[in-house]
Amino acid sequence: MNSRHYRAASLGRRTALALAISLGTVSGAVFAQSTSGRIFGQTAAGAGDSVTVTSDTGVSRTVNVGADGRYVVDQLPLGNYKVTLNKGGAAVDSRANVTLRVGAGTDVSFGGATAATADTSNLEGVTVSANALPSIDVSTVDSRTVITSEQLSKLPLARTAEAIALLAPGAVAGSSFFVGPTGNPLVSIAGSAVTENAYYINGFNTTDPLSGFGGITLPYGAIDQQEVLAGGYGAAYGRSSGGVISQVGKRGTNEWHFGGQVLWEPKGTKADPINYYSQIGANAGRIYDRNRDDKFWRTTYSAYAGGPLIKDTLYVFLAAEQERREGSVTTSTASPFVYKQTYTNPKYYAKVDWNITDSNILELTGASNKQNYDASIYDYDYATGQRGDFTGKDTAGAPQNKSGADVYSAKFTSYITDDLTLTALYGKMKGTYYTATADSTLPSILQANQQNTGLTGGGFITNSNPSAQIADPKHKSTNTNLRVDLSYHIGDHTITAGIDNQKVLDKNDGITTSGPGYAWEYWQTDAGTPIIGTSPTDAAYVAPPGGDGYYVARYVYSTQASVRTTQRAQYIEDAWQVSDRWLLKLGLRNDQFTNYNQNGQAYLRLTTPQWAPRLGATWDVNGDSSLKIYANAGRYFLALPASVALRSAGASLYTREYFTYTGINPDGTPTGLTPIFSSTGGPISANREYGIPRDPKTAAATNIKSQYQDEFILGFDAALTDKWTYGAKATVRKLRNAIDDVGDAGAIEAKMIRSGIDPDTIGDIQGSYLFNPGRANTFLVPNTNGGFYSVDMNNKDFGFPHSKRNYYGLELYLDHAWDGKYQVRFDYVYSKSYGNSEGQVRSDIRQDTVSATVDWDYAEVMQYANGELANSRKHQFKIYGSYQLAPEWLVSANANIASGAPKSCLGFYGPGQTNPNLGYGSYYHWCEGQPSPPGEAGHNPWTYIVTGSIEYRPTWADSKLGFNLTVFNLFDSRKETQIYPIRGSTAKPNPRYGVPLYQTTPRYARVGITYDF
């Protein structure tokens, strides 16, 4: 659909780690949404009869030791634990300071001789810490990166979930076009689109329910652990064909702790951004966008407190963060303004943990993540470089003036028996999306740089209404999530099953055209070439403009509705310890998705079984966990979010009416209008969006299937020494089915006529249908008798290729875990992502209308579409780590080096550079009359981003007080990351083509003071 928006040894390795694969129960649990961990181990047979684990959060559980000396304690809340071996009811040995890692097992074993002769009056002498435990976990088959709060306190990172996620191999920054609910940048994981990730807080799904752009996250200081699943995850996870970003928040312990932090990014430390210059046309070499003054300063305040309300029983943890960012941005010569912007981002987190009994735990979570935005707009004169008069407030809705969500959830865990555990989670997320209503009654002026300068005196004329679109200020959403998981251990099997249900209500969504209800959009094209189509008999045709090729369009856009979605899933998984060295995980998930329009009618009902098998295996080659080989294969389904209904199943209005003009008023509006002939005799909607309510039967192909992806992974992890590990992993991802929309009503009508249907009996064919690109689809078309024709369309009928998105990746890594002195990790990924469909969105042209892209609308826009995709980065090098220089001094660094994204050159169609069919303009994979597949125009430059920090914690303050300096982009490497791809025609080149859209953030510094008590 044509959517153009404006806007790791105290334990011997063989003793300790062979257990991970010798226990069916050890690797058996499926950690639903990864909020817990487990402790397992072995003692000499007869050395003990039970094991008790006690956490600093009051959790205490006792389990029996098997006849073979093995034990496991599953589904434990994260925290520090003391593990005690008991015999005859008396403690005979213990291990203290055992820290769990989310989704993983921790081996705590007891030597038989030690246990038999231990002095039970001195049980604190042996300490097991994370760096003393084996670093290769043979009980997992997925690909995960877990970053703990200790690492977060050391590493120099931006304070977002996505900045943490970028530490994971295969994760790259998405297009800067796209941001999350509170302005956070987004990530692409292993070639997926940025809308294909799932976000969680304490097990609750906080993914943006409207369009899938990011999700709600925790205050940075409240993160206990963040887990990034980049593939191979089990059946408990779903609704993601990219990755999973799951945060587990901190909780109170039996000791009170509190602290705070102040961070400041001074404007004076920021290097100048690079200016952008025109690349082609008469203005080549002239400045296009002056960026040198686009600078911001930022201050962040955060505080936390946590401890027991009732010791060993009831705990609380509270955290708050307030970020304020201020600065100014100068827009380009196409529409020159200065935006004085202020962003405030408040975040809150509260958690209550109640150990009702030793067998029952209740966790209550509350979180809030918001952004408030305000901007004053001023005129700007590029000739003088001076800011002019105030013109109004920014109410364009990008960003919204207020956005974000509040999250409330409750999780109950019951250890019914040693072998049977029940967890149940219920929660709600309430979203806010507010944009102030524009005061201007003037129509917004679009593409002012395409005005006839002979009528303007050489410049461009705009007015005080900078936004063509306004949103409903009453827009809200509610996301309800219920999941229940039951885990049972029997013999060599641990079987887990559950349900995962979600319901989204999106109220008062949509946008309308500002001002008087329309905007003016200026363009110039070849004078003798039709603006749309090729022949006056085409359903969408607009005649050539004549003259010098200048014309203007009256632009009208409106999408408003309240809609909802329901997503249900059931899963079962068996972790089968086949032998002491082999573990198999066999899972099956079934998803059902239903999307409803504004009238409560289902326009997309994908409820027939959607089986998603998940198969994984690990082999402990040497029996001591020094070498692990693992593999998995899985299928992952992706639902369509709520916003799809606005255009694909609502009553959307999207038209342009074309005129020539003889003058331009001081407010930018055209005068001397003469209508240009069109096939409708008036406004044209290429996708037939004329504000008429859509029959839900005609919103989608009758045999449509959900988007899904198949993934295959093979890898190994190996111990180089007792401190160093290394490994490799190969990943293959294939998008087997996609959902987009098709707009070629003419091709459907032609097929009907070829099939012998009387054209006089064919009713209005919808301008777009949701369908599965590259597959055979069946559409319902109204007939003049009040019924429908069923029309089968294949690729040949549409002239389409097969749909393709393939990702191949090879990862190599070398890791040294923190040993009290230093930690470092090296990652290299070679990958290739190619095909003719990026996924639900399209990065190069900023299409954020999910599953309604230009792709697949008609055959001509898909010619030569196969190439390197927007999220492809062939080479990625990541290095991060910390080094304790002295007891008071810590240095850390984080380096990310990557090859550039592919470029696109999009022009008019074919050697003749025409605008056929639906007439989308310069959006074809042709450039100056030559085929131009994605990537054919080259790549953006490599980026080299190195960030370093140094921290001083004086011993005179008991190391509770810290002073930190972080310098981002230390070497001030400034490269463009994305360029404008619309080339125009040879005769009338688009003056913006090749101009950078975004660049790497210039060097800046952050200073901080931290106190922890």
Single pTM value for the model: 0.89
Distance between CA atoms of residues 381 and 388, nearest Å? 7
Looking at residues 176-183, what average pLDDT do you find? 93
Candidate from 121-135, 195-209, 741-755, 962-976 with smallest mean pLDDT:
121-135
Predicted confidence (pLDDT) per residue in 660-691, tens digit: 999 999 999 999 999 999 999 999 987 788 88
Biggest distance spanned by C-alpha atoms of the chain = 102
**pLDDT at residue 34, rounded to an integer:** 63
Looking at residues 915-928, what average pLDDT do you find? 93
Distance between CA atoms of residues 827 and 110, nearest Å? 35
Question: How much of the chain, in percent, has pLDDT values that exceed 90?
Answer: 71
Distance between CA atoms of residues 566 and 630, nearest Å? 35
Predicted confidence (pLDDT) per residue in 791-845, tens digit: 999 999 999 999 999 999 999 999 999 999 999 999 999 999 999 999 999 999 9
Distance between CA atoms of residues 647 and 852, nearest Å? 8
Distance between CA atoms of residues 47 and 114, nearest Å? 9
- What is the pLDDT confidence band of residue 135, given thresholds at 50, 70 and 90? low
Q: Does the structure show a pLDDT above 90 at 996?
A: yes
Q: Does the structure show a pLDDT above 60 at 16?
A: no
Q: Does the structure show a pLDDT above 50 at 917?
A: yes
Looking at residues 484-498, what average pLDDT do you find? 93
Q: Report in angstroms the alpha-carbon separations of 78 from 55, 249, 252.
A: 9, 10, 11
Surface-to-core class of residue 673, CB atoms within 10 Å of its CB (0-12 exposed, 13-18 middle, 19+ buried): middle
**pLDDT at residue 127, rounded to an integer:** 41
Looking at residues 95-102, what average pLDDT do you find? 84
- What is the pLDDT confidence band of residue 766, given thresholds at 50, 70 and 90? confident
Tokens of 790: 């069923």
Tokens of 575: 């972790």
Q: Where are the beta strands (DSSP E) in 699-847?
A: 707-719, 724-737, 740-742, 769-771, 777-782, 788-793, 805-816, 822-835
Q: Which residues of 444-482 are buried (b: 16+ CB within 10 A; e: fewer)?
A: bbbbbbbbbeeeeeeebbbbbbbbbbbbbeebbbbbbbe
Nearest residue to 613 via CA among 593, 631, 634, 592: 634
Tokens of 519: 């905007």
Q: Which is more confidently placed, 222 or 78? A: 222
Pairing type for strands 961-968 and 1004-1012 reads antiparallel
**pLDDT at residue 117, rounded to an integer:** 38
- Sign of torsion over alpha carbons 512, 513, 515, 518: negative
Tokens of 614: 């998940």
Q: Which is more confidently placed, 560 or 739? A: 739
Residue 519, classed as helix, strand or coil, is strand
Looking at residues 936-944, what average pLDDT do you find? 96
Distance between CA atoms of residues 1011 and 953, nearest Å? 10
Q: Does the structure show a pLDDT above 70 at 31?
A: no
Surface-to-core class of residue 957, CB atoms within 10 Å of its CB (0-12 exposed, 13-18 middle, 19+ buried): exposed
Pairing type for strands 360-381 and 926-927 reads unpaired
**pLDDT at residue 78, rounded to an integer:** 87
Looking at residues 862-878, what average pLDDT do you find? 97
Radius of gyration, CA atoms only, the chain: 30
Average pLDDT across the chain, whole number: 90
User: Which residues have CB under 8 Å from 180's CB, separation 6+?
Assistant: 162, 186, 208, 213, 214, 215
Looking at residues 520-536, what average pLDDT do you find? 90
User: Which residues have CB under 8 Å from 931's CB, separation 6+?
Assistant: 863, 864, 925
Residue 155, classed as helix, strand or coil, is coil
983 backbone φψ class: left, alpha, beta (φ>0; ψ -120 to 50): alpha
Q: Which is more confidently placed, 468 or 277? A: 277
Q: Which is more confidently placed, 467 or 269? A: 269
User: Which residues have CB under 8 Å from 41's CB, separation 6+?
Assistant: 16, 19, 51, 70, 71, 83, 107, 108, 109, 110
Q: Does the structure show a pLDDT above 50 at 27?
A: no
Distance between CA atoms of residues 529 and 552, nearest Å? 15
**pLDDT at residue 69, rounded to an integer:** 80
Q: What is the DSSP code (8-state) at residue 690?
A: B
Bond prior to 399 in cis (omega within 30° of 0)? yes
Q: Which residues of 21-33 are buried (b: 16+ CB within 10 A; e: fewer)?
A: bbbbbbbbbbbbb
Looking at residues 745-759, what average pLDDT do you find? 95
Which stretch, 388-397, 530-539, 769-778, has highest mean pLDDT? 769-778
Residue 752, classed as helix, strand or coil, is helix
Q: Which is more confidently placed, 468 or 120? A: 468
Which residues share a beta bridge with 577?
A: 583
Q: Which residues of 821-837 are buried (b: 16+ CB within 10 A; e: fewer)?
A: ebbbbbbbbebebbbbb
Which stretch, 343-347, 513-517, 533-537, has highest mean pLDDT? 343-347
Predicted confidence (pLDDT) per residue in 428-451, tens digit: 999 999 988 766 789 999 988 889
Predicted confidence (pLDDT) per residue in 558-579, tens digit: 888 899 999 999 999 999 989 9
Distance between CA atoms of residues 691 and 144, nearest Å? 47
User: By the 8 A CB rule, do 224 and 252 touch?
Assistant: no
Nearest residue to 395 via CA among 440, 335, 443: 440
Question: How much of the chain, in percent, has pLDDT values that exceed 70?
Answer: 94
Residue 662, classed as helix, strand or coil, is coil
Q: Report in angstroms the alpha-carbon separations of 504 from 165, 605, 718, 841.
A: 26, 15, 44, 21
**pLDDT at residue 123, rounded to an integer:** 41
**pLDDT at residue 590, rounded to an integer:** 98
Nearest residue to 382 via CA among 341, 338, 444: 338
